[in-house]
Amino acid sequence: MNVPVEVPGLGTIVPEVDGGTIVIVESGADGAKSFLVRTLARTALRQGDIVTYLTSRDASDVREMLLDGGSATPPPPERLAVQELDSLPDWHPNGTSVGVLAIDSFSFLTLDMSPPALATMMRSFRAQCHASGLTVILATDRGMFEPRNEAIAIHLADGLIQFHTKEGPEGLVRYLRIPKWSAGTLTDRNVYYEFDGKHMAIDLRRRVL
């Protein structure tokens, strides 16, 4: 099942994440990647998908954030499984995965994996996507991947959303790019956004850095 992108402005560029695909969401230290991955997972829960959320952080905190509906109806908890891991190879799924698999941080949880092992894992995800329609959403930290592993992950993914920050004349400037997407939607410009840790606003006006 496709997962709508319920972030105002961003949904205009990429309306949804297609079912049966792998999407990487990358950012630096500002937490934008985790915010988007949680938003997609919460949307999937609300529309009835089973969501498996693997995290390198405290599982109870992540579960609480995922089930916080804010001003909207809270998502149903019975379809959510959150697991805290030290390393992704430690995860042993029960049966064929369905629904949405979200991993945050994929780069942290695969730190000790060799490039061939990572490629095998990504191909396994792709096989599950094709077999059952599983949607895989991977949050990665910029600069944490070994270069070959980063290239392998992007090569075998169907989509890539990158959140960037840089210093501007009036302070920190945030923008995103979408260099790869399953539907062929490529954003060859910098799309500005604001993020305060709880809310994200996308500026669709074309501006030059």
pLDDT tens for each residue of 169-182: 777 788 898 999 87
Q: What pLDDT digit, counting tens, does each position of 112-140 carry?
A: 999 999 999 999 999 999 999 999 999 99
Mean pLDDT over each residue of the chain, to the nearest integer: 87
CA distance 102 to 79: 13
In 10 A of CB 163, how many CB atoms? 23
**Residue 48, CB-side half-sphere exposure with 13 Å CA sphere:** 1
CATH superfamily of domain region 3-87+94-203: P-loop containing nucleotide triphosphate hydrolases (3.40.50.300)
pLDDT at 208: 47
Question: In terms of C-beta density within 10 A (0-12 exposed, 13-18 middle, 19 or more buried), how is residue 112 classed?
Answer: exposed
Question: In terms of C-beta density within 10 A (0-12 exposed, 13-18 middle, 19 or more buried), how is residue 165 classed?
Answer: middle
pLDDT category at 44 given cuts 50, 70, 90 is very high
Q: What pLDDT digit, counting tens, does each position of 140-161 carry?
A: 999 898 899 999 999 999 999 9
Q: What pLDDT digit, counting tens, does each position of 63-110 carry?
A: 888 887 555 566 777 889 999 999 998 887 765 578 999 999 999 999
Strands 3-4 and 16-17: antiparallel
C-alpha pair distances (Å), 151 with each of 32, 69, 116, 117, 206 = 21, 36, 12, 14, 29
